[in-house]
Amino acid sequence: MPAQILVMCEACGRPQFPRKGGCVQCGAPLPEQPTGLKRPATPKEKLFDAFEPFLEGDFGRAGTVLLSQRRLEWQPGPGSREEKKTYPLVDVAQVELERRPAWEALLVAALPGIAAALVSSPVARWILLGLVGFAALACFTQRRYALFVRWRDGKDPLGLLLAVGTSGSPAVQRVLSVWESLSAELRSLGVKVLEPS
């Protein structure tokens, strides 16, 4: 006796033997051949799928961002002492990529600047002023990129440093590429996104 193949009703998902009268449960017409359609997902499966990340953005040593329909996750880079962070999207008011000059480089310029004012040797003074110039150049040619997550309840925003570099550096190009994908997906999920200025 040959084995009979079951077909699945496309309306209700019930597997059954093929028959002319339609589905046993809902009466919808049955396909002639098995269609290979999956059964409809249960509410529990739909809930788990909503938490399954569909976008992974790798920022290199800075870490990785994962986005699902329900949450935004941050996984720090390897060797980092930071812990993994999870943010429910219902609590997120907006996400912003901040781009600004690397003002921190001017702090490095302060010590040689003070030393140049106190040193009596002209050669040492010129060397120290050269270091001040390099630090100022680094400040104004490099940009600092950070991801800020702002909350609906007004808590302090969370800032994640992603990269510091010139506009053509690989780290900055990676940040901008991931941001392009991440911002589009966040908008489609209803999260307000602010572009870098």
Q: Is 42 left (phi over 0), alpha (psi -120 to 50) or beta?
A: beta
Predicted TM-score (pTM) of the model is 0.65
Angle between helices 122-141 and 104-118 (to 10 degrees): 170
What is the DSSP-derived secondary structure letter of residue 78? T
DSSP helix/strand/coil, 15: strand
Instruction: Please provide the size of the chain in residues.
Output: 197
pLDDT at 127: 92
pLDDT in tens, 129-165: 999 999 889 888 999 999 888 888 878 777 888 888 8
pLDDT in tens, 44-98: 666 666 678 888 888 888 889 999 888 888 888 888 888 888 888 888 889 999 9
Report H helices in the chain. Answer: 43-51, 104-118, 122-141, 170-188
188 burial level (CB within 10 Å; 0-12, 13-18, 19+): exposed
State which amino acid sits at residue 55. Answer: L
Q: How far apart are CA 195 and CA 23, in angstroms?
A: 52
pLDDT reading at 195 higher than 80: yes
Say which residues have a Cβ less than 8 Å from residue 10's Cβ, sequence separation at least 6: 28, 31, 35, 37
Pairing of strands 55-58, 63-67: antiparallel
The whole-number pLDDT of residue 180 equals 92
Q: Decide: 55 and 74 in contact? Cβ < 8 Å.
A: no
DSSP 8-state class, residue 2: P
- Considering the chain, what percentage of its residues have pLDDT values greater than 70? 88
Residue 142: count of CB within 10 angstroms of its CB: 18
Percent of the chain predicted with pLDDT > 90: 16
Name the average pLDDT for the chain. Answer: 84
